[in-house]
Structure 1
Amino acid sequence: MNVPEWLDIIVRSVIFVIVLFLMTKLLGKKQLAELSVFEYIAGITIGGITSEVVMGLERSIINAIIAIVCFSSVPFLVEWVSLKNKKARDFLEGTGTVFIKDGKIMEDNLKKEKYSADELLELLRKKNVFNVSEVQFAILEQSGDLNVLLKKEHRPVTMKDLQMPYKSEKEPQTVIMDGEVLDEPLSVAGLNRRWLNEELDKLGVAMENVYLGQVDSDGQLSVDLYDDQIKVPSPQEKPLLLATINKCQADLELFALATDSASAKAMYAKNAKKLKDMLKKLDPALHD
């Protein structure tokens, strides 16, 4: 029985989509993110084999599958050898090349990797660096990415540099998606549906109108609605708490000034200082 040519092509295409999918799954995510030389060669060859067989120029599907498996095994073999021997890894996968050191361009390394000054400047601009003299160290990785370390005086200032207190954050939990409550993330955040309903009431929105709802590490709920025209008020718990503590601290200082009792004055001043010290510690949490 003669199979129509169009049906033969469809069957062959489906078979090779499945085969290529399985081989890609075996290769893993690393090969999807960045290709080594051997993976690039294998990919081109596999694509050529597949197109030949799908269009019927090569009738043997089994032989084509064997060839695909053989070429797909090359990256596995290369990776296995690389893991066992550093010299082999450096030869097969390559090593990073220093392009800039102490604000000075390594011209010989640029020529070795066949990069021009313009191309180097383009890579730097992608890292938001526009002045070579600001760079402490820049290295071209084997993947082709340029990693840049700025000189200390040109790096962004951090809270640690300013010796300010700070707290670590946990990843936000998505507790509402497409108007449906996700109980597991809600439980991970140590919360429940009753709390969630109360927070939604404070914001004045209904559950079914929420496209996405997330709870941050401080237990604050933020929502995105289906209707982008509706304005959702920002959470007020932190500003209200900060204002209340500030008022208490100011009242204690005022009481200390107003009283004639030495013991009361000392007590008010002492507690006012405690609140002031507490505000310094809480400030990073109450202002983020």
Structure 2
Amino acid sequence: MIEVLYGAGPEKISGMSTEELRSTFLIEKIFPDDAVRLVYTHVDRMILGGCRPVKKSVEFGEGAAIGTPYLLSYREMGIANLGGPGRVDVDGQSFELNNRDVLYVGRSAQKLKLSSRDPENPARFYMNSVPSQVDYPHRLITRAESKLLELGAEKNSNKRTLRMYIHPEVAPSALLLMGITDLAQGSAWNTMPPHLHERRMEAYVYFDLSPEDRVIHLMGRPDETRHLIVADGDAVLSPAWSIHMGAGTGPYAFVWGMTGENQEYTDVDPVPVRTLR
């Protein structure tokens, strides 16, 4: 069973209640124990998923819900491990993922199995999948193999490290981009300055928050912003027309995934903070 979100245009959100905004753009608690949760969004047809295998391995891959023989018959997928050591089996081929490793799964994969090495420290698998018409081989990208960018400044409370995993400069894909951003100690703001990328949508999942902390995620048009209060393990959809930035009440990190017309990471339209409303 795959949940479906249809999204909304910028003209709709001015009249949305808090609950309407959350049900349209926020996916709460995406990491169920011993099960896979998949959410299909009509925002560029990305599928977001999560799984925390604790007591058993979890298998998935059937595609009837999207009208194909298998989930990845015509799709590619990135799987990030945000928890303890785990393993992903793809059609019998095994990949060991440590914390902050990412597995690229190419088109035509049929059966996937997720498991944890230690039930006391379970893996936490987060997935992004987008349509693909190109065959690339499965590939494990470790944290050490990712491309590191140092961004922001301590004086602006937005110092952070961004690691590219599924990206033309690291591991090729058809349309999927995926990476992980960590905030430096004492910094709160991510994605500063805010920007738009009309040719790509983006999805975030926030993690490594304490139970009492939250991220205030800003979205909407630059001249009419809205916000979402986001907890650990919650995912946010960011359509191409929306800004995306946020600040946390405590330490946090997030996985970003993108798809759209191109894979040019710098193809963005910056929005000066002073112009936000």
Higher strand share: 2
By percentage of residues, which structure has more helix? 1
